[in-house]
Chain A
Amino acid sequence: MKYFKDNREYIAALEAAGDLVRIRQEVDWDMEAGAIVRKVCEEKAPSPLMENIKDYPGHSYFGAPLATYQRLAMVLGLDRDTPVPKIAEEYLRRTSSAPVKPRVIDKSQAPCKENILLGEDVDLFKLPAPMVHDGDGGRYLCTWHFVVSDDPDVGVNWGMYRQMVYDSKTMTGPVFPFSDMGKTLYGKYIPKGLPMPFATVIGPDPLSAIASCAPSPIPETEFAGQLMGEPVELVKCETCDLYVPAHAEIIIEGEVLPDVKLEECPFGEYTGYRTSPRDLRTVYRVKCITYRNNPITTISNMGVPTDEGQLLRSFSLGLELEKLLRSQGIPITGVYMVPESTHHVMVVGVKNAYTGIAQQVASLAFGSKLGPWFHMVVVVDDSVNIYNYAEVLHAVTTRCHPVKGITVYEQGVGTPLYPFLSAEERKWSKGPKVLFDCLFPLDWDSNSETPRLVSFKTVYPREIQEKVLGNWEAYGYKNR
């Protein structure tokens, strides 16, 4: 299978496809770079490669690495214009194959070891952490990256958990208790007062980045291998026993401290707001930095849609939920999570085979590991194209009974990031949820009671449809 081993190969391919702009004039790390990436996301413009960063000669920024479906199609080896359902098919095909164990390579072959800073030389401010948005609590070095940790019982985890530079040797960030790293940290290290080794990977190759923010039960090292079709190449850290992708741009090694918390936030978040409160958060103390020559720092700028967090998390959350529902034998026709909903709305297509199917879908979805990240499930039947917003909205506004069709789940797991929650609800990560059941009840008489959808495809006999389609241009219309 075709894939990009590092961002350098990917950048070259984007450039060849006309989807990259090289910015050679000086760009300020203090908001200007962030503003460029934000505008790029809002306009779906080509990814920027900023080659001249103020105060940081030799460094570059690669912004909005995966903020469009065209880029996602490319990194999965597909034609850039592949429709979303086909990209989904490819993702499902690759991630349903056997997991592929990683391969460890020698340090001498690992580009991420080209430069090594240890001891007194370690200073996070030697890296061009951008001030992504005006008003952020600090410089977020880690917005498109992942954190490697190792659970003594479960094994290695890669997770994309944002990190802000606090001082020369310290970063802070939110690690939610329901996240994989959260379970290891709060469940196994903090109770024993032990520091937890971590390694942050900045500028990972695109498929490893996707693996790190996908909510899959398969270990991310093997999940990345599934996506690539061959083992991801890892190399051992300098100061601990963790392994990191050898072709990444920058690696930050250190320990998560069990007994200190420091301020983090506010930050422009994936919902399109600065919501989660400034709080005392997890502390990452840094011992070592390794990096490639002329390192390229990745920047994702979260805000109003569409950035890669929204796009990829919607994509993988939807498809992992699809796998879960299918594994339970529920007759679904597909799942689509709408990126513009900032992965808050899950649209599920079903065969309306039995009463209560929508409730079954919603209970499973909200009750799953994925549940904290969304709060609306819309269930439609197979007459609705789940990828077509207009059809979905039409179903919600015409088939969902305002009393019987809406089920509110008052208690659920949420995150502090939901803009509509009260301060108290955010503090405790409470997550109320809602189901919109857009299925006509099966106990209605289908001949006399159930409304009939009035569309070209549903209310004309096949021969009339074929006749009209056959004559369309003859009538004077253009075929689209």
Chain B
Amino acid sequence: MIKYDIFVESLQELPEGEEITVPVRDLTPGIHKYSYKYVRALVSADADRYPEGLLIRFGRGQEYGKPYSMKVLEFVERIPAKYL
């Protein structure tokens, strides 16, 4: 099942098997669907390489037909602690 999606300007922002830190949206059905998470993760163009499915959308919202896969290494908080 597809768990996350991500917006990119170009697929080059998703280098195969390299660690990246990016905002993704959680697509789990329910009231929190589309909530943003900032993740340190590994991604692959091979939909089966990592445990989570990752859909890709380009800058103006167009879907890229082929799903990627992703392994989340860490959820990162971007709001400074003083505001939490």
Contact = CB atoms under 8 A, between A and B. Distances in A.
Given A257-B83, A260-B80, A285-B83, A168 B61 contact: no
Contact of A277 (B35, B59, B80): B59
Nearest to A128: B31
Given A55-B30, A262-B36, A170 B61 contact: no
Interface stretch (A34-42, A129-137, A349-357): A129-137
A133 B60 CA distance: 12
Nearest to B79: A260
Interface string B30-48: 1111111100000000000
Nearest to B26: A167
B26 to A, nearest CB: 9
Contacts of A167: 35-37
Given A55-B31, A257-B83, A135 B57 contact: yes
A240 to B, nearest CB: 14
- Chain B contact residues: over half helix, strand or loop, or mixed? loop
B75 to A, nearest CB: 11
A135 B31 contact: no
Given A135-B57, A135-B61, A274-B61, A125 B31 contact: yes
Name the 7 nearest CB pairs between A and B, nearest first.
Answer: A135-B61, A274-B60, A125-B31, A266-B61, A166-B36, A125-B32, A167-B35
Contacts, number: 63
Contacts of B61: 133-137, 266, 274
Contacts of A263: 7, 23, 36
Nearest to B8: A278
B71 interface: no
Given A131-B34, A262-B78, A263-B23, A255 B59 contact: no
A30 interface: yes
A150 B63 CA distance: 40
A139 interface: yes
B62 interface: yes
Interface string B57-83: 101111100000000000000111001
Contacts of B79: 170, 257, 260, 283, 285
Given A170-B79, A259-B80, A135 B32 contact: no
A211 B35 CA distance: 32
Residue with the greatest number of chain A CB neighbours at <10 A, chosen from B32, B33, B80, B83: B83
Contacts of A110: none
Contacts of A126: 31
A238 B30 CA distance: 29
Contacts of B31: 55-56, 125-126
Residue with the greatest number of chain B CB neighbours at <10 A, chosen from A56, A167, A168, A260: A167
Given A259-B80, A260-B80, A139 B62 contact: no
Interface in A132-163: 133-139
Interface in B1-48: 7, 23, 25, 30-37
B30 A266 contact: no
A262 B38 CA distance: 10
Nearest to A263: B23
B83 A255 contact: yes
A275 B61 CA distance: 10
A165 interface: yes
A138 B25 contact: yes
Contacts of A278: 7, 59
A195 interface: yes
Nearest to B33: A30
B45 to A, nearest CB: 21
Interface string A106-139: 0000000000000000000110000101111111
A174 B7 CA distance: 18
Nearest to B57: A135
A266 B5 CA distance: 14
Contacts of B83: 195, 255, 257, 260, 285
Interface string A396-428: 000000000000000000000000000000000
Nearest to A166: B36
Contacts of B80: 257, 259-260
25 contacts: A55-B30, A55-B31, A125-B31, A135-B60, A135-B61, A135-B62, A136-B61, A138-B25, A139-B34, A165-B35, A167-B36, A168-B35, A170-B36, A195-B83, A257-B79, A257-B83, A260-B79, A260-B80, A263-B7, A263-B23, A266-B60, A266-B61, A274-B61, A283-B79, A285-B83
A108 B76 CA distance: 42
A402 B59 CA distance: 37
A195 B83 CA distance: 9
A285 B81 CA distance: 12
